[in-house]
Amino acid sequence: MFENRYLKAVLILLILPLLLTAQNTNSPYSRYGFGVQEYSTLGKTRGMGGVSVGIREKNMINPSNPASYSALDTMTMLFDFGMTGSLSTFREASVGQTNPNGGLDYVAMKIPLKSWWGLAVGINQFSKVGYSYSFENTLSNDEEYVESYYGTGGLTSLFIGTSVALWKNLGLGVNYKYYSGMITQTSATSFTDADYLSQTVTEYWYLNGSSFDVGLQYQQPIGKRNKLILGATFSEKMPLNNTLYTVSIASDTITTTSESVFEMPRTIGLGASWIYDDRLTLALDYQQQNWADVNFHGVTDSLSNNRRISFGAEYLPSFITNSYYKAVKYRFGGYYSDSYISNDLGNLKTVGLTFGVGLPLRKQRSALNLSFEVGKVLPPQSSMVQETYYKLSLDITFNEAWFFKRKL
């Protein structure tokens, strides 16, 4: 019985990544860098502002800190996937636009190997590219033309990680991550007058590379009901393999192949959570990515360091109750981030609030997690495009007793 379920889970894990490419973004700011960056928060933490470095729980998968994999139930295997529907509004001067989007975000599972040793594997999105805009311009001789820009794609991250628990209070873990994806960038100039030559240039970036994340978590009981968890993560700067194809269409079609230098940044994360009576959790995270030090398309000064502060809370009214509403977990959080996307005027900033609930399924250990997020991109100048987004996420965690032997 276990072998059949395990095989099905692995097959789903391999097939569902194909659906990840269906999700995109509509942000004009995704034209820069690798696109709009996603954060690898799963399940309940999406309703808690994305806090994760100091979160250690046996009934969830937390790839943001691989040390968390050693918090587990040896009799169950976790299978988790999440999806998001979003609505983004854009405004520049008196012009506005609204775009819906959505799709699958991630799929992951966690497997207990020993009471002190856990393994996790999954795939999620690292960045998304999706934009399309144009504007009219005029030459010195009053000839009008249209410049258009559009792009698609992004990077996904496949991770496999393991963690061991030492002396019950200390967890050490490591993730191996493999990044891959294709980003397409197109610029076009078109004239209404046939005497002028229109041109379209499309770049196809095929990128892939691997990295290691290391993490630790220390858990300190305080009295009978309180518990403090401290966490830290680190990953080193690493290069990306790449092949670039440029297709130029004018009077003729010319295709060229080249390579450039792309790197992923050194990343440091610190987090802490305080738990009271296993019913109230308060958490705080800080993460820094040193994008200013990396090569991007052979240039080292085109991106900016990214710093993100997030906080979150979860409250469970009661463990034992006849009221379903008292068995629901209520969540709240927020975040502030300096984006790695920058220009001569400064870099973008993002601020957001999250709300969520954890809905237990009757007579089961599995759960539904619903979260709502509202955020705003803050450009360095008010004359730039103003972006506000709304996201509704659904995460399903299957927590089944797959390791029991059935008796006749």
What does the pLDDT look like over 118-145, one tens digit per residue? 999 999 999 999 998 888 888 777 788 8
End-to-end CA distance of the chain: 14
In this predicted model, what pLDDT tens digit does every residue of 374-405 receive, in sequence order? Answer: 999 998 888 888 999 999 999 988 887 665 55
Q: How many CA atoms lie within 13 A of 168 on its CB side?
A: 2
- Residue 20: its pLDDT value, please? 47
Residues 46-60, mean pLDDT to the nearest whole number: 94
Looking at the structure of the chain, the number of domains it has is: 1
The CA distance from 4 to 241, in Å, is 37
Domain assignment present for residue 408? The answer is: no
Domain assignment present for residue 405? The answer is: no
In this predicted model, what pLDDT tens digit does every residue of 239-281 receive, in sequence order? Answer: 999 999 999 988 788 899 999 999 999 999 999 999 999 999 9
- Residue 302: its pLDDT value, please? 81
Length of the chain as a residue count: 408
In this predicted model, what pLDDT tens digit does every residue of 143-181 receive, in sequence order? Answer: 888 999 999 999 999 999 999 999 889 999 999 999 999
Q: Is the pTM of this model over 0.95?
A: no
Give the CATH number, domain containing residue 333: 2.40.160.60
Burial (Cβ within 10 Å: 0-12, 13-18, ≥19) of residue 305: middle
Chain centroid, CA 260 distance in Å: 25
Domain residues for 98?
2-400
In this predicted model, what pLDDT tens digit does every residue of 176-233 receive, in sequence order? Answer: 999 999 999 999 998 887 778 889 999 999 999 999 999 999 999 999 999 999 999 9
What percentage of residues in the chain have a pLDDT greater than 90? 57
Chain position carrying tokens 């109750």: 321
Give the containing element (helix H, strand E) for 4.
helix 2-15
**Strand residues in 16-60 grouped as ranges (E):** 36-37
Q: Are 125 and 104 in contact (CB under 8 A)?
A: no
Domain assignment present for residue 23? The answer is: yes
Domain assignment present for residue 406? The answer is: no
Domain assignment present for residue 154? The answer is: yes
Beta bridge partners of 248: 201, 254
